[in-house]
Amino acid sequence: MNPSNPELNPHEIQKAIRRLEKLRHEPAEIPDFESALTPLLCGYTVDAPRFAAGMYLYRGRKCAKPASIRDLTYPPAECVRSPGRANEIGQAIFYGAAAREIPFFELDAQPGEGLAISKWKTTQPILLNHIGFSTEPETFKDAKRKLDTVYDFVRGTRQKCNLNALVHDYLAYNFARSANDGDGRVYEFTNAISRKLFADPLLDGLLYPTIEMSGNADNVALKPQTVDRALTFVSVEYVAVKARVGMRCDIDILDSATKSDLIGTLSWMGRGLQWKLRHQGERLTIRVENGERVAYDLVGNRVDPE
């Protein structure tokens, strides 16, 4: 066996799982989980998807109307005072979503609250690891898509061998635990998993199903250097939540912006987003996709509002 390409060892996997399950009920910290994960991941192989430039991402914040793009992107590390699913205290991460509607549920938006929903677009390809695409997590019991076969890269990862699928599903089960289930140290474990899965400098972040929407859409956690290198601001809407019923939020769009000055100060327009025809005879087709109005030109290219 080539030592640079280790194979999964069933004995070491079971021993690592026993150790990790014990740690969940001890006063363990992130490095303890990270150390216990090492033998579990020895030989684990993942098909990591590369997404072409032009991928749209959405990010939400509960806040007063923001003044600048800096208020919309990842926070400064010194302002991160609580852990998240993929970040520890003092670690800046850009949490984004694949659809405009997702941030309302990730943020548990309630009637009367104001949110800034910003839209971003990748300018370069990004390489993402993935986690959570499994039917194992209890938080995904109401998923309307079969998460373990939803993407080719998920199928490829799980089909490498039974042990690879076992590790994949175990990681998914623990990464997608509800932070409110009271069952052990959730974020210490998920942070350790995140450290392992996108520490490699070749990886730009992590793709995972949204827990708050039962796995029916996807989130990303991006490294700050990836945001600085490969993400550009498109627009922001400032909205007020009027009502929320189940998986539906009714909102009022109070303002929007698509431009800023050289230092990132937003130019609010006093209206919702609109599209401008750039030349005589131009026609746009506007349709609703995932709760958002999206425009396309005659050859099918997506056109951003101005």
CA dist., res. 83 & res. 141, Å (int): 25
For residues 187 and 93, membership in a common domain is answered with yes
C-alpha to C-alpha distance for 172 and 158, rounded to whole angstroms: 12
Instruction: Answer positive or negative: Cα dihedral of 58, 123, 176, 190.
Output: negative
Q: Is 93 among the domain residues? A: yes
Domain that holds residue 286: 274-306
Considering the domain architecture, whether residues 235 and 285 belong to the same structural domain is answered as no
The answer to whether residue 2 scores a pLDDT higher than 60 is no
Q: Which residues touch 147 (CB under 8 Å, ≥6 apart)? A: 132, 133, 134, 135, 140, 154, 209, 215
pLDDT tens-digit series, residues 203-244:
999 999 999 999 999 999 999 999 999 999 999 999 999 999
For residue 290, the model assigns a pLDDT of: 82
My answer on whether 152 and 53 are in the same domain is yes
Tell me how many domains the chain contains.
Answer: 2
7 falls within a domain = no
Same domain, 146 and 210: yes
Q: What is the pTM for the complete model shown?
A: 0.93
218-222 and 231-245 strand pairing: unpaired
Q: Angle, nearest 10°, between helix axes 186-198 and 30-41?
A: 50
- Residue 104 reports pLDDT greater than 70: yes
Q: Is the residue at 33 inside a domain?
A: no
Q: Check whether residue 125 and residue 219 sit in a common domain.
A: yes
Do 253 and 279 sit in the same domain of this protein?
Answer: no
